[in-house]
Structure 1
Amino acid sequence: MNPTPEPPEIGFGQRLKIQRTRKGMTREVLAGLVGKSASWVKALETGRLQTPKLPVLLRLAEALRVRDLAELTGDQSVRVDLFTGPGHDRLPAVRDAINALPALTEREAPPVEHLRARLAQAWTARHSSPHHREVLGQLLPSLIEDAQLAAHQAEDRTTRRHAQAVLAEVYALSQFFIAYQPAADLLWRVAERGIVAAQDSGDLHAIGVSAWLMAQAHRDAGDWDAADVVTTQTTDLLEPRVGDAGDDPLAIWGSLVFEAGYTAARRGEIGTAWGYWDRAREVAGRLPATYYHPVTSFSQAIMGAHATTIAVELHAGGESVRQSERATPTGIPSRPRRARHEIEQARAYYLDAQPEAALATLEAAHEAAPETIRYNGYARRILLEEMDERDGRRQRRASALADRMGMLTV
């Protein structure tokens, strides 16, 4: 018998076409996102052009949300994971708590009011700490276990609904810890459990928070249609109910409106993206000037940062810089959210061919919250490009920051 022949090697161009079509992108859209022409994309896909160099590869990977360059290059010997950071030392303990079965213990659950107070303290601790994953990694295991226990042991319908609302938000807090770690299975588990707990609670705020995070999970996985379904259905549910419900439900509705714009920007839909941003800004204007949502950061203060994100996702270099320079990070009270905005500012400068400004802004982000930038794929992409730069001074500066972030640790 003849041996089974080896499958033919899939070339870079074919891999690129597969990834592009999976995301539902036209050649024109992908080309626009990386600053090239549709004919250039076609030449790559048909093999008339060879595999591009690292800087262009990284831009393609970012536009397609490819998590590892090997998915494009086929070279498994050099793995470059772009959108997943390192596993935190406290991840195993958090995983164990999420996977535990509360029905198997006879320990009495703490009162729901106590859990809600602990949850509020945990959000405050996250926003104030530069090492927010370390803080959450310490707090989450007992908080998850107690919240699961409270939902399981609730004896009447009202208590159970309140416990489920707290549990949904505990899962939301867990999602902030797990995100961008090598634990995709766990991320989806808490996202789905959060949706179920929120729906069981009937609490508008809990439903909005869990949907907001589920939309992000879908978008980061490249499933933009699913993200749209979640945001559209939830905003339609909330809109007629948030008028007299208080600031928090109004803010989560505004957060979801912006998320729809974020996804539209990822698609390259300029008018739609800015239209959603305008609508979200109107919602923010209905909130007190000093208000700041503890989960989503939605507020009047965050709208400038959101405008920067829209412009960056649309790959509009000059507009990105203009928006970022209007939005000062000092107005954002949360350290991790401030660091994320500074990373978006760095992306803006990099799009506008200002690498020195981008590196300086990434250094500021590292000062604000090292555990934000360490897990951020966009920051790593910029540093990878700059470490491949011929300019020795920029290369050394990028390498020094990469070393502080742990990127060079074997």
Structure 2
Amino acid sequence: MTREQLGGLLGRTGSWVKAVESGRLKTPKLEVILRVAEVLRVRDLSDLTGNQAVRVELFQGPGHPRLAAVKAAVDAYPVGPGAAAPPVAHLRARLDHAWTARHRSPHHREVLGALLPDLIRDAQAAVRQSEGPVQRRAAQALLSETYSLCQFFVAFQPDAALLWRVAERGLVAAQESEDPRAIGVAAWLAGQAHRDSGPAHFDAADQVVLDSLEFLRPLLPDAPDDVLAIAGALTFEAGYTAARRGATGTAWGHWDRARAMAERLPADHYDPVTSFSRAIMGAHAVTVAVELHSGGESVRQAAAAEATTIPSRPRRARHRIEEARAYHLDGQPDAALATLAKAHEAAPETIRYNGYAKRIVLEETESRDPARRRRASQLAVKLGMLAA
């Protein structure tokens, strides 16, 4: 990223960035440092400040107690037949139950962490023990979806290497399955992993998402709802990355096309993996406006989406965080903190692992307004950022 690009994302100039780098300007205030950390996806503020006594991890959450068990299941390399694998129909039912449990629980990582080790082992066994190409492809599709479920657990935890192993194995299993939906879901998650790795990876995010859309496009005129939904989710992902780049027209263009796909779905359709649906498009509009750093437009989109009910608790919490970012961009810190409190109520494990939410809370713990500082500090304690 050039100095001019970084400065533009910060609302500054390239010469300002150079002056900070060279020491001609004194160290910026915490608010500015946090904004730089957000733009560069720096996980630890000491990487920016050089002060090793102040270690604040922003874009990863605490290691979940069940992370080690999930990691062990992913890292295992069984080569023999082992115990008999459950039937594919049984695995399908367990995966469906896991997705439902994730959407319903405020502590969704705890739920997934308990289910994933056995699911991973059984899905791997189903592939090894499959008889014939048809059964093997069906088992590979289920294995790919199991890795997709696993990626939701692993994301934003302190093991980037594990995240990439899970994402890549999901892509390989999806390709082996030759199942259009499995391929689309694996690409959707791989695109997110690339994009969340920072601006240097935006091109990779675009490539995996747009190539997958090109693969799915011939199927779309007569596609079943689950394939149309993943194509819509991929279309929005392309818009999300464009918004991160600051490409306003491209971002909103992809959002418009995704909305058109959502309108082709039944009114009550809600994709269990991507959350793609008619209900989610308002939340997606908030995200685009926020990523484009349009405070007023972000708040307007948040108001328009307010009446929409998102059935998933973790996805609803994520939307509340995006709304909070909108209010914060628009200079409404009290509204931002109140909205983050709603996010915590919906799904504490979502906000605890979200760097944007933690940045807002941490910044407001130094507010000059005593009441706001107190509210921010109370929320920081709940998030484990400050001691009680």
Shorter-chain TM-score tier: over 0.9
Deviations 1:17-53 (A, max 9, x none): xxxx3xxxx4444333223344422322343212201
Letter in 2 for 1:347: R
1:133 and 2:112 correspond: no
Listed as ranges, the gaps of 5+ residues in structure 2 are none
Share of identical aligned residues, percent? 67
The answer for the alignment partner of 1:182 in structure 2 is: 158
What is the DSSP-based 3-state SS (H/G/I as helix, E as strand, rest coil) of the residue aligned with 1:281?
A: helix
Out of 306, 328, 350, the position equivalent to 1:350 is 328
1:68 and 2:34 correspond: no
The answer for the alignment partner of 2:57 in structure 1 is: 81
The answer for the alignment partner of 2:193 in structure 1 is: 217
Q: Given that residues 128 and 334 in structure 1 are in contact (C-alpha distance below 8 angstroms), is that contact kept between their aligned partners in structure 2?
A: yes
Alignment of 1:4-403 (within 5 A): 21=1, 26-104=2-80, 106-222=82-198, 223-328=201-306, 331-403=309-381
For structure 1, which segment, 127-136 or 385-394, has the greater mean C-alpha deviation from structure 2 after superposition? 385-394
What's the TM-score, normalizing by structure 2? 0.97
What is the DSSP-based 3-state SS (H/G/I as helix, E as strand, rest coil) of the residue aligned with 2:221?
A: coil
Q: Distance in 1 between matches of 2:383 and 2:339?
A: 14
Output the aligned Cα RMSD: 1.4
CA apart distance, 1:329? 6.7
Q: Given that residues 330 and 338 in structure 1 are in contact (C-alpha distance below 8 angstroms), is that contact kept between their aligned partners in structure 2?
A: no
What is the DSSP-based 3-state SS (H/G/I as helix, E as strand, rest coil) of the residue aligned with 2:79?
A: helix
Q: Distance in 2 between matches of 1:128 and 1:328?
A: 20
Q: Distance in 2 between matches of 1:328 and 1:30?
A: 32
For structure 1, which segment, 35-44 or 344-353, has the greater mean C-alpha deviation from structure 2 after superposition? 35-44
For structure 1, which segment, 40-49 or 90-99, has the greater mean C-alpha deviation from structure 2 after superposition? 40-49
Deviations 1:276-327 (A, max 9, x none): 1111111111111111111000011100000000000011111110011111
Q: Distance in 1 between matches of 2:263 and 2:9?
A: 32
Q: Distance in 2 between matches of 1:244 and 1:102?
A: 40
What is the DSSP-based 3-state SS (H/G/I as helix, E as strand, rest coil) of the residue aligned with 1:331?
A: coil
The answer for the alignment partner of 1:10 in structure 2 is: none
For structure 1, which segment, 72-81 or 234-243, has the greater mean C-alpha deviation from structure 2 after superposition? 72-81
Q: Distance in 2 between matches of 1:330 and 1:402?
A: 28
Q: Given that residues 282 and 308 in structure 2 are in contact (C-alpha distance below 8 angstroms), is that contact kept between their aligned partners in structure 1?
A: no
Q: Given that residues 181 and 226 in structure 2 are in contact (C-alpha distance below 8 angstroms), is that contact kept between their aligned partners in structure 1?
A: yes
The count of corresponding residues between Structure 1 and Structure 2 is 386
Q: Distance in 1 between matches of 2:319 and 2:132?
A: 44
What's the TM-score, normalizing by structure 1? 0.92
What is the DSSP-based 3-state SS (H/G/I as helix, E as strand, rest coil) of the residue aligned with 1:62?
A: helix
Taking a change above 3 Å as real, the CA distance of residues 409 and 153 of structure 1, as seen in their structure-2 partners, is: farther
Q: Given that residues 91 and 142 in structure 2 are in contact (C-alpha distance below 8 angstroms), is that contact kept between their aligned partners in structure 1?
A: yes
CA apart distance, 1:241? 1.4
Q: Distance in 1 between matches of 2:163 and 2:103?
A: 21
Deviations 1:105-155 (A, max 9, x none): 520000011101100110000001111011111111111110011011112
Q: Given that residues 260 and 276 in structure 1 are in contact (C-alpha distance below 8 angstroms), is that contact kept between their aligned partners in structure 2?
A: yes
Q: Given that residues 373 and 405 in structure 1 are in contact (C-alpha distance below 8 angstroms), is that contact kept between their aligned partners in structure 2?
A: yes
Listed as ranges, the gaps of 5+ residues in structure 1 are 1-20
Deviations 1:52-75 (A, max 9, x none): 011110001111212222222222
Letter in 2 for 1:165: A
Letter in 2 for 1:356: D
The answer for the alignment partner of 1:4 in structure 2 is: none
Q: Given that residues 137 and 177 in structure 2 are in contact (C-alpha distance below 8 angstroms), is that contact kept between their aligned partners in structure 1?
A: yes
CA apart distance, 1:408? 1.9
